[in-house]
Chain A
């Protein structure tokens, strides 16, 4: 079973920031939050991950609450190519991790 809860779908206007929430209230102290996305008919693509501090890379920003029970993925300037299913996953950082992909959030970017 997925250890995270995400909205089933979201819409965002092109050029605006897309904020995707995720709840992970049972996250343990050594687990990280990972975000992946899957564009139609392709394999999932890693986006970003974090432990407790906010993170930013060329694709997105990750905001993790102080109690680590929830997080938000931010796509600062969404484009049509960002339309995809976004998965929030909690997992350890080492060894073989059996990532559990739930249903994710289907994000649609509208022109």
Chain B
């Protein structure tokens, strides 16, 4: 099975500051990679997905961007955080409907 690494586990950032969340995957090659966000008490919202290096599809227009510089590395970024960017950010890897999720990063924007 795959192992998904995410860091940091928690992050507190001021409004207007930049963001970079990293996700790395072990145990597979050329996976489909995903970024989801979960606001407090809400469901999971798909933000981005990638089927290969340099290939990014955005699902929701917003203040965030994603990049995939290596096969098993997926990065979520923002130039200026908004209060509404607070949430639980989850990276996932998989094929078809079978996905493995990372432990997540809990982001609080103040």
Contact = CB atoms under 8 A, between A and B. Distances in A.
Interface of A: 32, 34, 36, 41-46, 49, 89, 91-104
Given A95-B32, A96-B32, A98-B46, A43 B97 contact: no
12 contacts: A34-B98, A42-B103, A43-B101, A43-B103, A44-B92, A44-B101, A46-B98, A96-B51, A97-B32, A99-B99, A101-B36, A103-B43
A59 B96 CA distance: 20
Contact of A93 (B32, B36, B96, B100): B96
Interface string B66-110: 000000000000000000000010101011111111111010000
A102 B43 CA distance: 6
A91 B97 contact: yes
Q: Which applies to chain A's interface (DSSP): helix, strand, loop or mixed?
A: loop
Interface residues of B, number: 25
A43 B43 contact: no
Contacts of B26: none
Given A101-B43, A101-B44, A92 B96 contact: yes
B66 to A, nearest CB: 14
Contact of A98 (B49, B90, B100): B49
Q: Could you say which of A43, A46, A95, A102 has the most chain B C-beta atoms within 10 Å of its C-beta?
A: A43
Given A96-B32, A96-B49, A98-B49, A44 B96 contact: no
B22 to A, nearest CB: 15
Contacts of A102: 43
A99 B32 contact: no
